[in-house]
Structures are given as structure tokens and as C-alpha cells.
Amino acid sequence: MFVTDAYGQETAPAVEDGHGAEAPADAGHAAGTEVPAEGGHGEAGFPPFDASTFPSQILWIAITFGLFYLFLKRVIMPRLAGILEMRENRIAQDIEQATRLKGEADAAVAAYEQELAEARGNANAIGQKARDGAKEEAEAARKSISASLDQKMAEAEERVAKIKDAAMQDVGSIAEETAAAIVSALGGKAGKADVASAVKSVRS
């Protein structure tokens, strides 16, 4: 084995030579630092490839694998299972929330469509009512105008009849006067009664 200079100086005892003089300490140090000759364990190869260490290597591999398996089983796998379960729960919650939101959206759309249908129905009813009201008002106005026109027509016919009667009376008087004038111009004489009777017979 290799020994340091200080260790060699402290442990190397003084050696007396045959003449009674002490030998220098470097002699022991030199003797302690000699490299052993080749042979014995110096000829051994790489330890992992040494067949004599296979059983211990297999034992340590088995122990290491067992410890690694226990570590996976007790630490890694529970954490992975917890992470997977948490993600699964989160996905389930997201799906549930999405389903709930979809249901609310469908309900809102259905309510909107129902309100729209009701609004359309009310609009149609209001429009029909307005049309019926306008039609009734137009019919009433038409009847009122027709009655007014009928009344005015009757009044006009009555006035025309009066005017016609007055005109006919005037025509009769004019005819009687004209007939009397013609008879007088011809040198004849006729009474008013005769002239009126003659005009009346001609008019009829």
C-alpha cells in the first residue's frame, strides 16, 4: 500500500546497523513504498465480470429491483393514480358543467322561441283587430256618407220637382198669355177660361 511521507516518518522506527549506528528513517520509508510484485490479486479482472461475484451481484440486483418496485408501488403509482383521478374528476365536472350550461341554453332558446311565438300571435291579433276596426270604421263612414248622399239626393230631387212645378206653372201662364195675345192679334176674342182650358188640353 502507499504511505505518505509524514506517516512513514512518524511510524518508521530507527534501525541500528551492525556497527551500532542508527539507520536513516528514509530506509523504512523506501521499504514501505515498494510496489508489490505481480501475482495473487493483481491478476483479477473487472469485478462485475468476475464469475465469483455473480451471486452477490444477483442478490443486490434483486434487492435493488425490489426496492424500486416498492418505491413505484408506494410512491409513484399512488401519485399517478391521484393525478389521473383528479383529472378524471375535473373532466367529469367540466362535462357536467357543459351539460348544465347546454341545458340552460336550450331552455333559454325555448323560452325565447315561445316568447317570439307569443309576440307574433299578439302582433297578428293586434293587426287583425286593427284591420277589423278600420274596416268597421270605413263601413260606418261609407254608410254615413251614403245616407248623407241619399238625403242630399232626395232634397235635390225635391227641389228639382218644386222648380219643375214652378216652371210648369210659369210655362202655363206664359202659354195662356201668349195664346190670348195671338187670339187678340188675329182679331178674335177669347176669355181667360177658354184660353186656360185650351192650354191645359195641349199640355196634357
- Rounded Cα distance between 110 and 17, Å, is 120
Domain annotation covers residue 183? yes
Residue 113: inside a domain, yes or no?
no
| Pick from 3-12, 49-58, 123-132, 176-185: least confident | 3-12
pTM of the model: 0.34
For residue 188, the SS3 value is coil
CA separation for the pair 36, 26 (Å, rounded): 19
Q: Which phi and psi angles does 22 have, rounded to 5°?
A: -75, 140
Instruction: Give pLDDT, residue 55.
Output: 86
- Is 107 a member of any domain? no
Cell numbers placing 44 = 483479477
Distance from CA of residue 52 to its chain's centroid?
77
Residue 10 lies in a domain: yes
181 domain residue, yes or no: yes
Task: Answer whether residue 121 shows pLDDT above 80.
Answer: yes
Q: How many domains does the chain have?
A: 2
Kindly state whether residue 29 falls inside one of the protein's structural domains. yes
Ordered alpha helix ranges (H), the chain = 5-11, 25-32, 54-71, 77-185, 192-203
Q: Which domain range does residue 11 map to?
A: 1-33
Choice among 5-9, 99-103, 116-120 with the minimum mean pLDDT:
5-9
pLDDT for residue 9 is more than 50: no
Residue 23 maps to a domain: yes
Residue 144 lies in a domain: no
Give the dihedral sign, CA 187/192/197/203.
Answer: positive
131-170 confidence digits (pLDDT tens): 898 988 898 888 889 888 888 888 888 888 888 777 776 6
Average pLDDT, the chain: 75
pLDDT confidence of residue 115: 92
In this structure, are residues 195 and 183 in contact, taking their beta carbons and an 8 Å threshold? yes
Output the CA–CA distances (angstroms, integers) from residue 9 to 4, 12, 21, 25, 30, in the order listed.
Answer: 9, 6, 18, 7, 11
Report the SS3 class of residue 23.
strand
